[in-house]
Structure 1
Amino acid sequence: MDYMFFLANASLTLRVVEYLRKIPRLPVKFVTVIHQIDGWVVKVKMATPITPEQHGDFRAFMYELGIPYHPEVRMQMALWSLETGQSVIDVMRRYQVAVVSHGSPDSSDIEAFRQQFTRGLGYCPETLA
């Protein structure tokens, strides 16, 4: 089962990643985090089906932080390429997307991206707050 949401900023994205790390009963196969100019796309793929209660709880949590995301074709292809094992660098080059993290939920990737992006700009855009 896949969940794909659009989040407004890095703080919300970090909350999702920390939530997934702290809930060991969720069978998370991988988490993909992509930064866009206007926000963040988070895709969570479960390794096995989850119970209706887990599904409801997780969806409720995600709806508190963001909105469901329905990707256009280019983003669908990028996400599919990552899922089939293509390298993150190749996917970023081919589809012109900023893949911040793919695999196990890892907040350090998001923090590092935020720091580097902000340092390069000299200020912190709203999406990186």
Structure 2
Amino acid sequence: MQYLYHLANASLTLRLVEYLTTCAYIPSNIVTVISQIDGWVVNIKMKSTLDAQQDKNVKAVLNELGVVYSPSKLINSVLMELEKGTTITNVMRRYQVAIVCHGIPQSDEIKIFRKHFIDGLGYCPQYLA
């Protein structure tokens, strides 16, 4: 199963990652978080399928926090490269995108990214709030 969503800011993204790590019925999964100027792209790829009610529950949370994302050609290429096993660094260098995390979801990576970005800018843009 795969879910691809766009979230408006870092707080919503953190809430989603925390939900994914604490929800008992969600199997181990790969989560890719990409930061963009207009928000965050979150790709959730599960190794096994959920039953119908669990799928509805996950979609309800995702729809509450963001919107279904139809990937651009660039993001589609990024996700395909990551799936093929290309390193995050090589993908970021090749496609000029900010991949915040890829693999088992960890909210610490998002928090660190946000802090370093805000420190570098000297202010907090809305999508990093």
What is the RMSD of the two structures over their aligned residues, measured on CA atoms?
Answer: 0.7
Aligned counterpart, 2:19:
19
Query: Unaligned stretches of 5+ in structure 2?
Result: none
Aligned counterpart, 1:96:
96
TM-score normalized with structure 2 length: 0.98
Aligned counterpart, 1:59:
59
Question: What pairs with 1:76-95 in structure 2 (closer than 5 Å)?
Answer: 76-95=76-95
Query: Unaligned stretches of 5+ in structure 1?
Result: none
Identity %, equivalent residues: 50
In structure 2, what residue type is equivalent to 1:96? Q
| Number of matched pairs | 129
Aligned counterpart, 1:31:
31
Matched position secondary structure for 1:119: helix
| Residues 28 and 44 in structure 1, CA contact (< 8 A), matched pair in contact too | no
Aligned equivalents of 1:16, 1:102: Cα separation in 2? 14
Matched position secondary structure for 1:4: strand
Structure 1 ranges of 4+ moved more than 2 A? none
1:55-101 deviation per Cα after TM superposition (whole angstroms, max 9, x unaligned): 00000100001000010111101011111211000000111110000
Give the C-alpha shift of residue 24 in structure 1.
2.6
